[in-house]
Structure 1
Amino acid sequence: RPYIYYLNCYRIAPGNVDFTFKFYHQVSLGAARNNILFSPLCISNALSMLMLGAKHHTLSQLLSGLSFNQTEVSEQEIHEGFSNLLDLLNDPLNEIELNIGNALFIDEEMKPLKKFLHDAKHFYKSDISHTDFKNSKQAEEQINRYIEKKTNGQFVDVIRDLETDVLMVLVNYMFMKAYWKNPFSFKNTREDYFFVDEQTTVKVPMMFRNALYKTYKDTDLSCQLVEIPYKGTTSALFILPEPGKMKQVEDALEQGILSKWLHSFEEQRINLHLPRFTIHTKYVLRGLLRRMGITEIFTDEADLSGITGKPELKVSKAIHQVYLRVHENGTEAASTVVTEIVPNARPHIIKFNRPFIVIVFESLSRSILVMGRITNPKETESHY
């Protein structure tokens, strides 16, 4: 790919990373003991698409909330950056199946402007559909059918209880399949204890692999890090705070810390124990985004006149859903069992048997695809 592709991605990367940690902090405030999982790229991609139609203070709020500084990156560069990033992530050479998208469902009496339709499709590959919101049941079925089809049946009945005065619904979704570069062996997975907190212990299937991994021990923040690569250019960064140190690590999360970690890794042979888990989360974004300063798009003060040419449009509902399954092959599909050869030397043991943080990132574009906190691997569904 031409270098300009990567340059455009790099321009939006700092803002996207800042947005990731800002969003994580907001979610964690209301979910002290719950699992957290979201796709920052998915959310920022959808909100940046709305910027195509936002004007005046509504536009300024979106730029600020998404951590984009207009003295460093222009609106045009933001849109080109997301367009190139989606192309890059969907490239077959990347070796992951990433289904990331968003859609606008607009009341059938509203007519989107040709420029908005063109730009939303051109930059964001976005679908825009007319919907009869006065027939709320039919509208719900239309939106839910769309999401179910786009996510291969992974998400069903996302939208419920739509009101009849809705003018626009924004839906974004993310589904990822990726194979570990070096899979875990199924025969090494054992039932083991996971210490949720001082009072709660659960039994989980604990995967095991003895191998060379990039690791780093951050003594300042009292946490251990392991990077596990997928095939292609994507990796998962697992962060294991020492007991009682989760909040200390969470409070320190920002761009500089992530950069420090990624530049501090050294390859080391370890005995890695990692729980197999499946997490499915659903967020109603309105409250979270409002706390991040993005308020107008949900109110009558919204100026989204670049979408239809009329000022009365606002976002009635914004839903975000993510599904992540971590298991022996790192993917949804079954694969061959790999037999591990374990040497005689006693390697360092890193055991993820207490709450930890996971960050899935793509290295070429410097993009965070998924971020989460696994507090209890047995708790498969969370709603916020």
Structure 2
Amino acid sequence: MKSTLSMCFLLAGVQTLVHGHHPHCRSNEYDHIYPTEPDSQVEEAYPCKSKAYFKLAPINADLAFRFYQLVVSEESDKNVFFSPISISISFAMLALGAKSATLNQILEGLAFNMEKTQEKEVHEGFCHLICALNRTDRENQLNMGNALFIEETLRPLQTFLEDVKNFYDSEVLYTDFRNSTAAEKLINDYIGKKTYGKITDLVQDLDPQTVMVLVNYVFFKGKESYWEKPFDIFNTEEEDFFVDEKTTVRVNMMYRRGIYKNHYDKELSCWLVQVPCSGNTAALFVLPDEGKMKEVEDALLQKTASKWENSLRNSKIHLYIPNFSISGTYDVKEIFRQMGVTDVFTDQADLSGITEESGLKVSKVVHKALLKVHENGTEAVGVTVTEITWRSGSVFTPKIKFNRPFLIMIVNKHTLSILFMGKIVNPCGK
């Protein structure tokens, strides 16, 4: 008979802001979003020997879009914000300890085709991706890390401990989970420290039979100013944001006139705007026409993202972005069940790669992410999306106003990984 030991699995994804455009130009359909070879600058900068990270970009993007669509299918009228890269890395790390059907479900849930990809390639790819994303940069602070909190009485396999350290650079911290209050404080203090106090008290009501907690964090914060071209605070004015046909809220609308990459997608009826920042990421803001949000969401695929990227062109616009803060907290366990990842949450779980003791399963998966947008981004978050109307006159300068629901994707420039993704329905709502 199986024991009732359980494993609590936690994800902590944190704030970000946007940056520049990927420089490569190739003929392949997806090359502007997904490179066909490693970025040489990244290869020179990191000690990780694997060069497989570039294969992860379209796979992680697929997971991001599927996760997003499942979230909005439940609550289409709510704000959405999450870190797909945090979720991907956390489950990939869990896969190190999984076997048989449990392993296959996790990797297929992460959008890997196991007929074309070897398990070792998955972990090597994430190893190098973590090295690349943790690159030291004078202009920003992008920190990603992992930690395992393990019950003091548990005896993990040495190979598992070595793999989580070598592939995922994970810290291993032994914890007395029998004292659940102290264990919760230890983990929450760790998360609070790694996220600079932005995420606190994420761990609550630990299962008394918890023997392991996995934590992944992603934190992005620029120095002084995120925006490559900051907004002048004196141009910020209170304006209406149209949540829906019946609801209007007042927001502080920032304004700047300048040259930005933008495009109107006639097929999907939406505006695209890319706003550069001072570091190594790029933000794509997507504003569907009224009544077209569902159509755009249904079209969120790698092919669509590539088409958008290839169509962006520089032109002068009047840009209006609301000043706001939002957060998102998700029960990832339920969402992954819908993706076909089921065994790991039940007594059918095979996590014998973690320990020879039988009975482990994942009892909880929690993910939280934060976003803040203001004039210069001094507090670590910048995301916005677009709305556009045309000014009258012989020379048209689009007026792009984020005054109705919009989408956002924030992508790392070197690895082309989607760090954060979301939908802003109500900038004043939680």
Same-fold call, TM cutoff 0.5 = yes
More displaced stretch, 77-86 vs 51-60: 77-86
Shift of 1:363: 2.5
Aligned residues of 1:12 and 1:73 also touching (Cα < 8 A):
no
Measure, in 2, the Cα distance between the counterparts of 1:6 and 1:196.
46
Number of positions where the alignment pairs a residue of Structure 1 with one of Structure 2: 371
Tell me the amino acid that sits aligned with residue 190 of structure 1.
Answer: E
- Counterpart of 2:310 in structure 1 is 263
Corresponding residue SS for 2:162: helix
Pick from 253, 271, 280: which aligns with 1:206?
253
Corresponding residue number in structure 2 for 1:338? none
Whole-angstrom CA distance in 2 between matches of 1:315 and 1:110: 15
Partner of 2:26: none
For 1:6-155, list aligned pairs within 5 A.
7-93=51-137, 95-155=139-199
Q: Please say if 1:2 is aligned against 2:43.
A: yes
Q: 1:182 aligns with which of 229, 253, 256?
A: 229
Q: Give how far 1:247 is off.
A: 0.8
RMSD of Structure 2 on Structure 1 (CA): 2.0
Q: Which residue of 2 aligns with 1:349?
A: 399
For residues 219-234 of structure 1, the aligned pairs below 5 Å read 219-234=266-281
CA distance in 2, matches of 1:79, 1:326: 34
* 8 A Cα contact 1:358 1:373, kept in partner: yes
Q: CA deviation at 1:102?
A: 3.0
Q: Equivalent residue for 2:23? A: none
Structure 2: how far apart are the matches of 1:292 and 1:304? 19
Residue type matched to 1:297 in 2?
A: V
In 2, the alpha carbon distance for the partners of 1:7 and 1:127 equals 23
Q: Which residue, 201, 205, 215 being the options, matches 1:171?
A: 215
Q: Distance in 1 between matches of 2:367 and 2:261?
A: 32
Shift of 1:94: 7.7
Instruction: Please list the CA deviations of residues 304-342 of structure 1 after superposition, one character each: whole Å capped at 9, or x if unmatched.
Output: 1111133321222222111111211134179xxxxxxxx
**Which blocks of at least 5 consecutive residues in structure 2 are unaligned?**
1-41, 382-393
Unaligned runs of 5+ in 1: 335-343
**Equivalent in 285, 300, 310 of residue 332 of structure 2:** 285
Of Structure 1 and Structure 2, the greater helix share is in: 1
CA distance in 1, matches of 2:190, 2:330: 18
Give the C-alpha shift of residue 173 in structure 1: 2.8
Give the secondary-structure state (helix, strand or coil) at the position aligned to 1:376. coil
Q: Which amino acid aligns with 2:260?
A: Y
- State the distance in 1 between where 2:266 and 2:50 align: 34
1:196 corresponds to 2:237:
no
Partner of 2:28: none
Describe how 1:305-320 pairs up with structure 2 within 5 A: 305-320=352-367
- Whether contact under 8 Å (1:169, 1:317) holds in the other structure is no
| Residue matched to 2:347 | 300
AA aligned to 1:121 is: K
Q: What is the SS of the residue equivalent to 1:83?
A: helix
Q: Does the 8 Å CA contact 2:372/2:380 hold for their aligned counterparts?
A: no
Give the structure 2 partner of residue 339 of structure 1.
Answer: none
1:173–1:320 Cα contact (<8 Å) kept: no
Residues 11 and 73 in structure 1, CA contact (< 8 A), matched pair in contact too: no
Q: How many angstroms does 1:202 deviate by?
A: 0.5
Q: Percent of aligned pairs with the same residue?
A: 49
* Residue 337 of structure 1: aligned partner: none
Matches within 5 A, 1:365-376: 365-376=415-426
Preserved contact between residue 51 and residue 128 of structure 2 (Cα < 8 Å): no
Q: Which moved more, 1:139-148 or 1:96-105?
A: 96-105
Letter in 2 for 1:132: D
CA spacing shift, 1:209–1:175, aligned 2, 3 Å: same
Residue in structure 1 matched with residue 410 of structure 2 by the alignment: 360
Measured in 1, the distance between the counterparts of 2:283 and 2:257 equals 17
CA distance in structure 2 between the aligned counterparts of 1:285 and 1:131, rounded to whole angstroms: 24
For structure 1, which segment, 2-11 or 277-286, has the greater mean C-alpha deviation from structure 2 after superposition?
A: 2-11
Look up the equivalent residue of 1:314 and give its one-letter code.
K
Structure 1 residues 333 and 372: alpha-carbon distance in aligned structure 2, compared to 1, 3 A threshold: closer
Mean CA deviation greater in 68-77 or 192-201 = 68-77
In 1, Cα distance between the equivalents of 2:171 and 2:247?
45
